[in-house]
Amino acid sequence: MKVCKTVRQIKIEINKAIRAGKSVGFVPTMGYLHDGHLSLIKRARKENDIVVVSIFVNPTQFGEGEDLESYPRDLDRDCRLVEKEGTDFVFAPSAEEMYPHGYMSYVDVEGNITKQLCGKSRVGHFKGVATVVSKLFNIVTPNKAYFGQKDAQQVAVLEQMVRDLNFNIEIVPCPIVREADGLALSSRNTYLSQKERQDALILSKSLIEAEEMIKNGERDAAKIKNFIINNIKTVEYADIDYVEIVNAKTLEDLDQIQGDVLIALAVKIGKPRLIDNIRLEV
């Protein structure tokens, strides 16, 4: 496995592979990898000739007062993990490499899709994501790119961006990976104290119970939403950012549970803000 720190280095490697007729699978990450990321790499490994993983904590997707400085980082550990999964190249640029002095261009996916859910409280977040992913797509030129469904809104935004900007890249959404007790894996789980980690289980538990209500015939989105909110409020230090029930592709609010449904939530448990969701076809 080769670790490339500059755009020039990784482009040379990828051009060689493409000239040799190889397909490229790409897993963009911000590092501090967990089994969720590794599941994306495993899938990419199965479906492509070469696998590229990027590790870059992207400053443009963090707002003021967010955790850019404290975001966990450990490149050596990440490299060991991805090498075991058969990754061919790691692209781990510095912030200056990606955004050199005088940098000016941004990609903004406008409208409901970026304004709802996380877009409401994290203004500018998806502009940062769309910008860095566009740059990474132009650098790595993959055939397929793999993203976790835990960031369901990110997947919807990037699918829209790929359609709108004619990227010849297939976005492959992959299932959420959970701990045995239901907690969705996230690099930010490392911020949780033992007590907070226990409290955080209310998120997946509420989603599973909501799914059960729907399976039993409940179709009133407001009732399901209130059920989840009241459930979460039983945890003393849970601070709800949002609980929303939307169409999974357009992210438009649903009154009735019908079609491609996404139930998504973001809740602060102590310091960390955690997101989770379920997607169901009704």
Catalog residues that contact ligand PAF under the rule CB under 6 A: 28-30, 58, 61, 129, 132-133, 151, 154
Cβ neighbours, 10 Å, residue 183? 19
Tell me the closest approach of the beta carbon of residue 30 to ligand PAF, in angstroms: 4
| Separation of first and last alpha carbons in the chain | 44
Query: Identity (one letter) of the amino acid at 279?
Result: R
Tokens 């989770």 found at: 276
Tell me the closest approach of the beta carbon of residue 82 to ligand PAF, in angstroms: 14
Query: What is the SS3 assignment for 53?
Result: strand
Tell me the closest approach of the beta carbon of residue 129 to ligand PAF, in angstroms: 5
Q: Which of 243, 216, 11, 16 is nearest to 120 (CA)?
A: 243
State which residue, 30 or 38, has the beta carbon closest to ligand PAF. Answer: 30
Tell me the closest approach of the beta carbon of residue 67 to ligand PAF, in angstroms: 13
| Widest distance between CA atoms in the chain | 58
State which residue, 30 or 92, has the beta carbon closest to ligand PAF. Answer: 30
CA 180 to chain centre: 20
* Spatial separation of the C-alpha atoms in residues 79 and 74, rounded to whole Å: 9
State which residue, 35 or 253, has the beta carbon closest to ligand PAF. Answer: 35
* Burial (0-12, 13-18, 19+ Cβ within 10 Å), 29: buried
State which residue, 34 or 197, has the beta carbon closest to ligand PAF. Answer: 34
State which residue, 93 or 196, has the beta carbon closest to ligand PAF. Answer: 93
- Catalytic-residue membership of 37: yes
Q: Report CA-CA distances (Å) from 72 to 33, 78, 99, 124, 161.
A: 10, 11, 21, 22, 28
Tell me the closest approach of the beta carbon of residue 13 to ligand PAF, in angstroms: 20
* Catalytic entry in 34, 37, 101, 125: 37
User: Dihedral angle at the C-alpha atoms of 121, 124, 127, 132, nearest 10 degrees?
Assistant: -100
Catalytic residues: 37
